[in-house]
């Protein structure tokens, strides 16, 4: 349904290091780099799905908003969470089952360095 999503970030170098790590943990890669922006998508393509743009001021959306990434496996969710914490993210929910979302719904939640709430979930949503 979505073509791509753009986030304003205060420090592109800091955010790039964070997203290089968390996107890599999920099997995605940086596919676009410019002076004031970077984009992430499937490795080997130039089609970014998440674009980070250097911006001041940065005001992330409030309660109720979060971005969920599909993870290929439960270990990928675990790696996403660990990478996020290592690169300046804040824990908002450790990896684990979320039975209130579904019997096999496994997810982790973090805030990125600018305060955007992110989730990695497995199994991925149906296409």
Query: What per-residue confidence (pLDDT) applies to 57?
Result: 87
* Domain 5-122 part of CATH 3.10.180.10: yes
The predicted pLDDT at position 9 comes to 96
Q: Give the pTM.
A: 0.93
Give residue 46's pLDDT.
86
For the chain, list residues with pLDDT below 50.
Answer: 127
Euclidean distance between CA atoms 21 and 82, whole angstroms: 9
pLDDT at 127: 43
Q: Where are the beta strands (DSSP E) in the chain?
A: 5-9, 28-34, 37-42, 50-54, 67-70, 90-97, 106-111, 117-122
Q: Where in the chain are the domains?
A: 5-122
């Amino acid at each position: 349904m979505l073509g791509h999503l753009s986030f304003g970030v205060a420090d592109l170098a800091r955010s790039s290091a964070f997203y290089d790590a968390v996107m890599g943990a999920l099997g995605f890669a940086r596919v676009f780099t410019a002076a004031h922006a970077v984009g992430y998508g499937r490795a080997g393509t130039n089609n970014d799905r998440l674009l980070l743009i250097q911006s001041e001021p940065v005001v992330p959306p409030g309660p109720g908003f979060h971005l969920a990434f599909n993870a290929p496996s439960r270990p990928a969710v675990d790696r996403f969470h660990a990478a996020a914490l290592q690169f300046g993210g804040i824990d908002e929910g450790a990896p684990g089952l979320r039975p209130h979302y579904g019997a096999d719904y496994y997810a982790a939640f973090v805030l990125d360095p600018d305060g955007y709430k992110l989730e990695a979930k497995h199994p991925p949503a149906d296409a």
